[in-house]
């Protein structure tokens, strides 16, 4: 029989910690998912496995659940958790806990009794104590980083959310879901979010199991888990059901972020988020080994930020920009652009040219910068309102260049540093800006770029697996393929937002836009213009 499990440790727009904390966190998630997979493979029930997984996540101080939970506006902790046995649809939850060490264990213990389904406050702690669960002082949940954050952000409006959770299918065909959280920082005393509410942040039945993380009040009001489950039960493919539920939540509450993990009766797993990052892990009988890590947003374009779409591509304003008015373009296939076959590669860039020209006209931009990377389907457009000063990437001594002739009047400079290929600059026969070039010449240039990418994959091998392709006005309009990123990655922290064109472009996500409602209005104006303007 098939089995599957997915867990999460919080969807968020920020990240606290250095690379060492990231490595330890990902290693912990990997060990946890491997252990859970072994339990399911050996016939353990999904209900027991999700409970134990969430309990372990509660004990890990990096996450906003159990130890390490957020502090409320009075400076103490109130925790909540819920569990659902999909086989029977029995749901139990507890909220506003202040002394129960592992809230998920209380929710699980409550399944032994016919009622109550939900208990909150001191009565919930008393129930845990009466049933012999581990009790602690409220200060147990406080970590130094949480306390320092609370003190630093006092009297400031913040959105610091996070949850932990798991969904699983066992070998008997039973589904289960579990969720736990410390809630949002500075939450009102007594506040209950989505995590413990069935149909909001958690849902499971005999067909699908879903848990959510992110902006709890938005998820609660948008009933994200129930919405996704209802769509999946109605025949919508699981991934599509989850994505549509997240997009609907974002439409209703534009400033919110959400991450969702789900498993269905066939063992399919869906992991989606419109938050900047999502700490997740998954494993199944269909995978050789479990996978764990911190992933970036899987939904690059929100409905309310869409400015153009047809059967081949979709374009929209960027929720996490690194430059003003930044646009993202996505192929409908969802496949990375640079590895595409020649015909599909040229076709995408022809579609991209249409969007670029319309965006440039909408903004009355003097020029357009552009970047895409080898492992991502996202292509970013940067409209420039002022023409930048020409410059170029410089390297240390010891570099040399070889030039190779290409077809149709093109040529390529291969730049080496210490005999390692760093970048390729493609010269075009015409002096106009790339996206302003006549279509036939433009198509020839795109085909030459594709040819260079094939050469790199053969000559450089794995080092060419993740190149960056950019058109940077400061490089005098040349098309550049970078094999070494000159701009160090800050991930999982956001990339730096720049008010003026930076020396190096990035395909990473920056901080969240400060005013999502205004950004949505601008996207609406751009969409109206792009729709009405001629092709």
Which tens digits make up the pLDDT trace of 223-278?
999 999 999 999 999 999 999 999 999 999 999 999 999 999 999 999 999 999 99
Q: For residue 502, what pLDDT is reported?
A: 84
pLDDT at 1: 81
pTM value > 0.85: yes
Nearest Cα to Cα of residue 425 among 466, 387, 368, 470: 470
Name every residue whose Cβ is closer than 8 Å to that of residue 433 and which is 6 or more positions away in sequence.
367, 368, 473, 477
CATH class of 306-482: alpha beta
Q: In what order do the strands lie in the sheet with 175-181?
A: 118-120, 90-97, 79-85, 175-181, 164-169, 4-12, 277-284, 291-296
Q: How confident is the model at residue 483 (pLDDT cuts 50, 70, 90)?
A: confident
Closest CA to 404 of 455, 463, 445: 455
Residue that wins the pLDDT comparison between 439 and 433: 439
| DSSP states along 267-287 | --EEEEESSSEEEEEEEETTS
Task: Give per-residue pLDDT as tens, 369-379.
Answer: 999 988 889 99
Read off the tokens for 153: 């952000």
Strand partners, 295: 278
Residue pLDDT, tens place only, 273-293:
999 999 999 999 998 888 999
CATH number of 4-272: 3.60.20.30
**Helical packing angle, 224-233 and 238-252, nearest 10°:** 140
Determine the 3-state secondary structure of 342 from DSSP: helix
- Residue range(s) occupied by CATH 3.60.20.30 in the chain: 4-272
Helix (H, G, I), strand (E, B) or coil at 308: strand
417 contact partners, CB below 8 Å, separation of at least 6: 395, 396, 398, 399
Q: What is the pLDDT of residue 234?
A: 97
Catalogue the active-site residues. 163
Segment 151-178, tens digit of pLDDT: 887 555 444 557 999 999 999 999 999 9
pLDDT digits (tens, 9 = 90+) for 17-63: 778 889 999 999 999 999 999 999 999 999 999 999 999 999 999 99
- Residue 113's SS3 state is coil
Summarize the confidence of residues 192-219 as an average pLDDT. Answer: 97
Count CB atoms within 10 A of the CB of residue 476: 12
Q: DSSP per residue over 152-188, as a string?
A: HTTTS-------EEEEEE-TTS-EEEEEEE--STTPP
Span(s) in the chain for CATH 3.30.428: 306-482
How large is the average pLDDT for residues 101-127? 97
């Amino acid at each position: 029989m098939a089995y599957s499990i997915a867990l999460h440790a919080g969807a968020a727009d920020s990240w606290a910690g250095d690379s060492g904390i990231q490595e330890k966190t990902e290693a912990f998630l990997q060990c946890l998912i491997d252990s859970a997979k072994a339990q399911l493979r050996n016939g353990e029930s999904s209900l027991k496995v999700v409970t134990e997984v969430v309990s372990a996540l509660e004990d890990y101080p990096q996450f906003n659940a159990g130890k390490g939970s957020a502090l409320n506006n009075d400076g103490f902790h109130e925790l909540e958790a819920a569990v659902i046995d999909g086989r029977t649809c029995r749901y139990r939850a507890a909220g506003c806990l202040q002394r129960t060490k592992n809230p998920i264990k209380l929710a699980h213990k409550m399944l032994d009794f016919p009622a109550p389904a939900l208990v909150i406050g001191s009565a919930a702690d008393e129930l845990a104590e009466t049933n012999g669960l581990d009790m602690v002082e409220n200060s147990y949940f406080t970590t130094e980083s949480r306390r320092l954050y609370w003190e630093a952000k006092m009297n400031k409006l913040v959105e610091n959310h996070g949850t932990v959770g798991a969904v699983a299918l066992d070998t008997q065909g039973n589904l289960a879901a579990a969720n736990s959280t410390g809630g949002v920082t500075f939450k009102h005393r007594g506040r209950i979010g989505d995590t413990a509410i069935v149909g909001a942040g958690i849902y499971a039945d005999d067909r699908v199991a879903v848990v959510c993380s992110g902006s709890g009040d938005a998820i609660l009001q948008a009933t994200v888990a129930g919405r996704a489950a209802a769509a999946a039960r109605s025949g919508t493919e699981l991934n599509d059901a989850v994505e549509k539920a997240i997009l609907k939540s974002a439409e209703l509450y534009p400033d919110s972020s959400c991450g969702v993990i789900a498993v269905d009766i066939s063992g399919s797993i869906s992991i989606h988020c419109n938050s900047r990052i999502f700490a997740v892990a998954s494993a199944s009988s269909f995978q050789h080994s479990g996978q764990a890590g911190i992933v970036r947003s899987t939904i690059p374009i929100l409905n309310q930020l869409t400015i153009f779409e047809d059967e081949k591509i979709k374009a929209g304003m960027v929720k996490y920009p690194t430059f003003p008015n930044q646009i993202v373009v996505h192929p409908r296939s969802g496949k990375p652009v640079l590895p595409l076959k020649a015909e599909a590669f040229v076709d995408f860039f022809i579609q991209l040219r249409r969007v670029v020209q319309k965006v440039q006209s909408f903004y009355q931009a003097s020029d357009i910068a552009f970047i895409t990377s080898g492992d991502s389907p996202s292509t970013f457009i940067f409209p420039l309102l002022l023409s930048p000063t020409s410059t170029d990437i410089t390297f240390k001594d010891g570099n040399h260049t070889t030039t190779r002739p290409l077809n149709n009047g093109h040529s390529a400079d291969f730049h080496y540093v210490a005999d390692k290929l760093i970048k390729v600059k493609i010269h075009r026969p015409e002096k106009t800006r790339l996206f302003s070039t006549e279509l036939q010449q433009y198509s020839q240039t795109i085909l030459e770029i594709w040819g260079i990418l094939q050469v790199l994959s053969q000559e450089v091998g794995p080092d060419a697996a993740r190149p960056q392709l950019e058109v940077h006005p400061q490089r005098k309009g040349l098309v550049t393929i970078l094999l070494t990123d000159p701009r160090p990655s800050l991930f999982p922290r956001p990339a730096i937002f720049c008010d003026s064109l930076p020396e190096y472009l990035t395909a990473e996500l920056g901080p969240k836009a400060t005013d999502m409602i205004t950004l949505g209005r601008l996207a609406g104006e751009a969409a109206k213009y792009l729709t009405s303007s001629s092709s």
